[in-house]
Chain A
């Protein structure tokens, strides 16, 4: 038998032949007449529909935002390429306003800020990007540049290394090579030659067959004062491309610095033939020729020529000594030898009457003594009166070549 039930809302008795409360159903709307459980169930499709509507609206909105952001981004790229960094900052800022999660826009904004010489403003953007992508090569490279501007050398070098071993989306080998070159130039600017040489050796080992690249690396080797590596690299450059005049000049320079003046002349002559307008190469060739024409210890010289060269060098050295003493206000004549210049002058004067071509040809010991005295005078005057030029420079380089050989 069915029992009487009472409505949970109004408390009235619900007739046994009715499911719901007729009183409530009569008073309320359809929704009000529904049970609470039914309303809860009804909420599910309603919420699903609302979710779909909201998601669609969000998608439409975001696609519009992305399109606007892209427009500003392209304007920014154009401005950045044409060197208008402040305008690029504005453009990338607007692009970011429309698409604040876009890391590419954030990176470009940081690059524009760096280009506008605002490293303080660029840093936090880059650090934020780095926290999301610590292995990103571009971000690390920009951070390295940022640290360079801030004078934070250890951080800069760390970021450069991160960039070298980081992830690059396009042309990773080329990008890593460029970063190594940039790192090397930074190290050289700080005078860290050994560290630069290490980077360069690693770089040179993996260079593609590109003469200009070899030339660039050779130049950096020269800057790092690793002349032997530089010469090798320049040789590879002009072997790949014999018309690489810069490589020939570089090879000449490397040989010159290593005191291989004959090799230097060979390279420099080829370089000057390729480009007679290269005044640096021309001057270097002239100096090389001068050295080779003055060196009394050059192989294959007759005794007469050797003696003539020593006499000439002696006369040049005496002139240089006098000029230097005058410049320094030191009297050389009639004084007791006190200073190095005065001692050297006394020595010069002592053997002076004997330094004649005929005497020297017969007396190898005296020739040797006169030659040593010339080298000593050139070193001494270079120390006290500054680096010489012309013939004196040539004699100084000859002195150094043979001094180091000894």
Chain B
């Protein structure tokens, strides 16, 4: 009898999946806010512990080098997924892995982020917070045995909550989650993201207070002609964004080309360079918001603004590209404030119309660089508004943001986060195609029946292997490591011209294309036309991994079944 009552009570108290999801977004908001606050405090505490009040030149060099040696080991051996910002990894987890993030990721990111940023690397804490938040969300979702769809849906909520707490910007955090992580401003996840973000900011403010991150006067447009000056700032911001993005990608590619065994030491190389930079320009250390604040108040002279802009750009590229853990959110704001301040000083000196204070340009510059580098223009506008609580500057901000965004997109078509994923052989779906429900996809017409020629084969070996196969084109390598394609015709010609002992790599088809399983049929057919009778279907998570192929036969088979 008692047992029956207990069962009945349990049944009555049992929550539906939706109710648990909602409760979890609130819990997640609190947890992510606490994690963000602790992360911030830990970074600042570490910085003071390592550098003290007035560090010597030797300390400037030794601290980042030695700490980076330690973090390099941690990153290479235990937490390879947490290098860099964390935003692209979170995007990839959301789009490609159903929101599943290993449990070690948030903890690893916390630890390595604190060490890297606290030891003086020129990196931001917001990107890591996004990954920590996303990781905690995934962890909680899995722990509570939510359905895969709900686990996935929790990730942007966690990311938004952490960002909201890190920046004290609840609206911008929600927009960032929608614009960057989900890539859909009309996403159905708006509700959960808002709940988590608002909860997080309430918790954060109850601990740290409700002061805005930056203290700047309320700036406004002084004269209509000043919009031209802000447009010039937008152009400058766009060009600096391009320089930053290209510089970061090229330097990172350089480090990635080094032998795999050097991965442990690469962060230390970055640490050594940063240490030397810090001797001369200590202002580029870490997040650097105190200097952003000074720039927003017009408190820095032109020479220093230019110096800090250039040195921060170089230092951030080195810190990030060498494989340390930290983001580019804060550096992009820093760069924007310095570049904007410099443009403001120059315009004030030479303009023939009344102009605002250089601080106003620093403020708009922050937004312009953020829009140019991060490629989230709407988030950028709201973030500047929330950071400074000043909406008088919105019109100039939008003008500069849009110009910077367009210039940056024109000269660096791939957004930096996506380009970074490309370098890691992860292909995210294009923002426009995400969430678009195509009726027929590449995966519908591909076959999983794959035959490979080993990559080390000679021409003769390949010929023998494929003698009885009537296909026009063959895959070379293995399922996990596709090396290239060869055509039957090129094999025949090589055999006839006495090149039987040549390595097979000499016959690789150049410029072959691929699709991913979620590509629409139209794109698959278009790309099939460009290939010699075979179109590999590669995983988005790793473009080395072949998931299938599309051939003329598979297409015909698909057409037959549809009849």
Q: Identify the A interface with B (CB < 8 A).
A: 2, 5, 9, 16-17, 19, 31, 35-37, 39-40, 43, 47, 50-51, 54-55, 57-58, 61, 64-65, 68, 93, 96-97, 100-101, 106, 109, 113, 120-121, 123-125, 127-128, 130-131
Contacts and interface: CB of A to CB of B under 8 A. Distances in A.
Contact of A37 (B15, B208, B218): B15
B297 A125 contact: yes
Contact of A96 (B208, B211, B293): B293
Contact of B211 (A43, A54, A101): A101
Given A51-B30, A54-B38, A101-B209, A124 B143 contact: no
Contact of B20 (A5, A40, A64, A113): A40
B211 A57 contact: no
A121 B302 CA distance: 11
Interface in B2-48: 3-4, 6-7, 10, 13-15, 20, 23-24, 27, 30-31, 34, 37-38, 41, 44-45, 48
A37 B144 CA distance: 9
A178 B306 CA distance: 41
Contacts of B216: 124, 128
Residues of B in contact with A, size category: 35 or more
A57 B215 CA distance: 24
Given A36-B20, A47-B34, A100-B290, 14 more contacts: A47-B27, A50-B34, A58-B41, A61-B41, A61-B45, A68-B53, A120-B298, A120-B357, A123-B357, A124-B216, A124-B297, A124-B359, A128-B216, A130-B217
Contacts of A131: 217-218
Contacts of B45: 61
A65 B299 CA distance: 22
The 10 closest A-B pairs by CB, nearest first: A127-B217, A97-B290, A124-B297, A128-B217, A124-B359, A101-B211, A124-B298, A121-B299, A54-B34, A125-B297
Interface string B289-315: 110011011111100000000000000
Contacts of B207: 51, 54-55, 58
Nearest to A1: B4
A123 B23 contact: no
Contact of B296 (A16, A17, A37, A124): A124
24 contacts: A2-B3, A9-B145, A31-B143, A35-B10, A36-B20, A36-B145, A37-B14, A39-B144, A40-B24, A43-B27, A47-B34, A51-B30, A51-B203, A58-B41, A58-B208, A61-B44, A93-B299, A100-B290, A101-B211, A109-B299, A124-B216, A124-B297, A125-B299, A130-B217
A57 B38 CA distance: 8
Given A51-B203, A121-B298, A128 B15 contact: no
Contacts of B209: 101
Nearest to B298: A124
A140 B213 CA distance: 24
Contacts of B218: 127, 131
B143 A39 contact: yes
A345 to B, nearest CB: 57
Contacts of A2: 3-4, 7
Q: Which of B145, B209, B300, B358 has its CB near the most chain A CB atoms (within 10 A)?
A: B145
A5 B289 CA distance: 59
A297 to B, nearest CB: 59
Contacts of B203: 51
Contacts of A57: 38, 41
Contacts of A40: 15, 20, 23-24, 27, 144
A124 B37 contact: no
Q: Which of A54, A55, A65 has its CB near the most chain B CB atoms (within 10 A)?
A: A54
Contact of A101 (B215, B301, B357): B215
B290 A128 contact: no
Provide the main secondary structure of the chain A interface: helix
Q: Which of B6, B218, B290, B298 has its CB near the most chain A CB atoms (within 10 A)?
A: B298
A76 B171 CA distance: 38
Nearest to A31: B143
A124 B53 contact: no
A146 to B, nearest CB: 12
A2 B3 CA distance: 9
B15 A123 contact: no
Interface in B200-250: 203, 207-209, 211, 215-218
Interface in B347-377: 357-359
A227 B294 CA distance: 49
Contacts of B27: 40, 43, 47
A128 B297 contact: yes
Given A36-B15, A40-B144, A58-B41, A124 B217 contact: yes
A131 B299 CA distance: 18
A123 B37 contact: no
Contacts of A9: 145
A124 B217 CA distance: 6
Contact of B298 (A16, A65, A123): A123
Nearest to A54: B34
Contacts of A35: 10, 14
Contacts of A43: 27
B165 to A, nearest CB: 11
Contacts of B211: 100-101
Nearest to A3: B7
A130 B217 CA distance: 9
A160 to B, nearest CB: 20
A82 to B, nearest CB: 21
A50 B14 contact: no
A55 B34 CA distance: 9
Contact of B7 (A5, A120, A130): A5
Nearest to B210: A101
Contact of A47 (B30, B53, B208, B217): B30
A57 to B, nearest CB: 5
A57 B42 CA distance: 9
Contacts of B143: 31, 39
Q: Which of B4, B15, B294, B296 has its CB near the most chain A CB atoms (within 10 A)?
A: B294
B257 to A, nearest CB: 39
A333 to B, nearest CB: 61
Nearest to B218: A131
A117 to B, nearest CB: 13
Contacts of B13: 37
A125 B359 CA distance: 10
A8 to B, nearest CB: 8
A54 B37 contact: yes
Nearest to A51: B34
Contacts of A5: 7
Given A5-B7, A37-B14, A113 B217 contact: no
B109 to A, nearest CB: 18
Contacts of A127: 217-218
A123 B218 CA distance: 12
Contacts of B4: 2
A75 to B, nearest CB: 11
A100 B15 contact: no
Nearest to A64: B48
